[in-house]
Structure 1
């Protein structure tokens, strides 16, 4: 089976919005997050996307918490780490420090500003209503840190304008191949959940890019099936959806990954191992670049000391 038939299955473990009142299985602490990362890995995921939380479940971008999460995950399994950088304000100092010091292999990079809301049809009111600001100045600051640290940006696109909007970054040389996209569908303010949405996004992205679907809430499993048929990668997890296809609430992230892996095999594809995912996403090239840069730095430091 060639790599074109392999699927990188990502599990988004916790997010920032849902809490244990809505789903008791959502992990909060570094140990709980690491235990669920292991469950996802054992079920067939090769990547975990992680937001950090305080012990009470509130979101945090404290670098020391991300460092503890990385340490706890590494004690348990070799799964690829993808950290969030999605702060709501303009201050990205903490995500930049996380990128430079904790160094996940991948970091999510939100590619545009948007309305971000949730509407209840039964109540005829918005459950929340906010603006998620991601101007180019913010994107470039995060991207520069990723480039310096050898961390691969995962380009999170909630709409077609976010996808097409990478052109200035390509022209500047700030965004470098290989490109990895995540197409989010189902968020109010972004592109809708439909086959046509994914087809359009894949036509806009640069040819040869890797991509996955992130399907929020209702329609989650149908959109994962769509991505599998279209040749993309997939993401599941309690950040994206709380329920199994039969309508039962998932007890943990491993249960969601088990379904995603089964779906992958049902369409004639196979979940990628961690090492295969590193090759598909070309993370090994970044790792080689990091080592080369480190060697050059050591050489320069040695010559400076000798002189």
Structure 2
């Protein structure tokens, strides 16, 4: 499974290819699904282009994308969108249109409460466990551990030369008895090496303008669809060579 991460916390300074409006996100999602993406992860934006958890923005984003594709759609609940854990919980409770799932970064304050609010509303939880944080240790003792949709193993090492080693270390920290599916991905310089590792290990992965702006050869990507098409090819090659 290759999930497309449409935009992340990026903004206009990252270039016009990054979709920021609901219409642009929907168009980009449709192109990425046509290129082989089987799920969508998106960051709804405020009118000024900042990540937001507001019910109005979440509803507009989900409705626009669902008008174009019929695949699961997830959103972020990252603390940068609202630093107050209690406010993030209230935002989740106020959503009028619900995503299929949402990512929760387990190292962030209030992660358990945000995840519980999502589960109470029937929204799947991607447990974001970042390398270089205590997220894996906190998740290991979480009472919600068995209830999440999947583990989102996020390799924050952006060095192409060391990202795979960091990814293997993160997977070792997670252990072999998770009992939940794992989606492994990297970012920036580590995005493509970690994606190929996911292919070799038979794990789900993701790619998109949130994680990298460039293709494996270093050229600037023209769209999420271009990244997905290349990811599907590289993932398949890695699987066959494993």
Shorter-chain TM-score: which interval? Answer: 0.7 to 0.9
Q: Partners in 2 of 1:76 and 1:157 — Cα distance?
A: 30
**Structure 1 residues 21 and 144: CA distance shift in structure 2, 3 A:** closer
In the TM superposition, 1:136-285 aligns within 5 A as: 138-159=110-131, 161-170=134-143, 174-177=144-147, 180-187=150-157, 193-203=162-172, 204-205=174-175, 206-268=177-239
User: Is contact 1:62-1:94 (8 Å) kept?
Assistant: no
Please name the residue that 1:12 is paired with. 5
**Structure 1 residues 209 and 200: CA distance shift in structure 2, 3 A:** farther
User: Is contact 2:28-2:223 (8 Å) kept?
Assistant: yes
- Structure 1's unaligned 5+ residue stretches are 1-7, 113-133, 270-307
**Structure 1 residues 194 and 94: CA distance shift in structure 2, 3 A:** closer
**Structure 1 residues 177 and 60: CA distance shift in structure 2, 3 A:** closer
Cα distance, 1:230 vs structure 2: 1.6
Per-residue CA deviations over 1:151-183 (Å, capped at 9, x if unaligned) read 11111111263112113323xxx3334551112
Q: Partners in 1 of 2:211 and 2:101 — Cα distance?
A: 19
Q: Partners in 2 of 1:97 and 1:219 — Cα distance?
A: 32
User: Is contact 2:200-2:239 (8 Å) kept?
Assistant: no
Instruction: Tell me, yes or no, if structure 1 residue 107 matches structure 2 residue 102.
Output: yes
Q: How many residues align?
A: 232
Q: Partners in 2 of 1:268 and 1:145 — Cα distance?
A: 37
Q: What is the TM-score normalised by the length of structure 2? A: 0.86
Return the structure number with greater strand share: 1
**Structure 1 residues 101 and 193: CA distance shift in structure 2, 3 A:** farther
**Structure 1 residues 140 and 186: CA distance shift in structure 2, 3 A:** closer
Q: Partners in 2 of 1:223 and 1:140 — Cα distance?
A: 27
User: Is contact 2:157-2:166 (8 Å) kept?
Assistant: no
Per-residue CA deviations over 1:255-302 (Å, capped at 9, x if unaligned) read 100011111222346xxxxxxxxxxxxxxxxxxxxxxxxxxxxxxxxx
Please name the residue that 1:284 is paired with. none
**Structure 1 residues 246 and 194: CA distance shift in structure 2, 3 A:** closer
User: Is contact 2:157-2:190 (8 Å) kept?
Assistant: no
RMSD of aligned C-alpha atoms?
2.2
User: Is contact 2:164-2:190 (8 Å) kept?
Assistant: no
Please name the residue that 2:84 is paired with. 90
Cα distance, 1:196 vs structure 2: 3.3
Q: Partners in 1 of 2:26 and 2:86 — Cα distance?
A: 25
Cα distance, 1:106 vs structure 2: 1.0
Q: Partners in 2 of 1:252 and 1:44 — Cα distance?
A: 13
User: Is contact 2:105-2:127 (8 Å) kept?
Assistant: yes
Bigger drift between 230-239 and 159-168 goes to 159-168
**Structure 1 residues 247 and 200: CA distance shift in structure 2, 3 A:** closer
Q: Partners in 2 of 1:250 and 1:64 — Cα distance?
A: 30
Cα distance, 1:246 vs structure 2: 2.2
User: Is contact 2:36-2:232 (8 Å) kept?
Assistant: yes
Please name the residue that 1:45 is paired with. 37
